[in-house]
Structure 1
């Protein structure tokens, strides 16, 4: 199965913030949208990603004063991405080995979606349920 199939099932909408936005405003976006990461974008260009881990780290290092600073001071700048043609197995390997929970999906250097580990778990559980139902139907018809 591919990233494209997951995006088609879940949708391609992404949440993003501007690099100069205050960290406190970005945190509010995470809380309101109930997501663990937002893309940091300047127009259509991906500048970075801001995750809950980035926020916890800066708060531990600098305290509450960091909340008044800009997102670009906290975000992860070197973003690992995937493509729509990548398989679920490939992105699971990347997420596991590099300890990422979110991967932006790029196509021709344009952001077309965001895949989370939750999306993958949901997809795999759905696949498993379909396999179990098919096996059950097969046994029942035999």
Structure 2
């Protein structure tokens, strides 16, 4: 079972996009669209303050007919963020995401943000792990 650190090292891009709590929701949505991502971490003074996602926008701005121009990220972000550490396993992360209905997990090491895992990252790793296991079993059967 791979660790979070190993998954982060295997990602094609380690860059984590972020916004501040005072940024407009429109700026956050534009950044997500521009980068083709579904969530941004929210940093305040370099520390994790929350996470904002397309889901937050859809539920807290669009459906409530609020203005994306006037609303601030702090008004719609999830402030009580569930995080993982570099030593946590793929299985642990998948369980958290399943139980809490999450799509993104910020990764903290000693309180510092070092990465962001998406459900896609974990599914990709799970598929690779299963393919490797199948190959090993086939080799074992062949002798």
Length-normalised TM-score, structure 2: 0.91
Counterpart residue number, 1:71: 73
Q: Which ranges of structure 1 fall in alignment gaps of 5 or more residues?
A: none
- CA distance in 1 between counterparts of 2:63 and 2:122 reads 30
- CA distance in 2 between counterparts of 1:20 and 1:38 reads 14
- CA displacement 1:58-99 (0-9 Å, x = unmatched): 1212x1524421111111111110100111111111111111
The structure whose residues are more often helix, as a share, is 1
Runs of 4+ in 1 over 4 A off after TM superposition: none
Q: CA RMSD in A?
A: 1.4
Q: Which ranges of structure 2 fall in alignment gaps of 5 or more residues?
A: none
Counterpart residue number, 2:10: 9
- CA displacement 1:102-124 (0-9 Å, x = unmatched): 01000111000001110000000
Instruction: Tell me the matched-pair count.
Output: 140
Counterpart residue number, 1:23: 25
Counterpart residue number, 1:60: 63
Length-normalised TM-score, structure 1: 0.92
- CA distance in 1 between counterparts of 2:80 and 2:67 reads 24
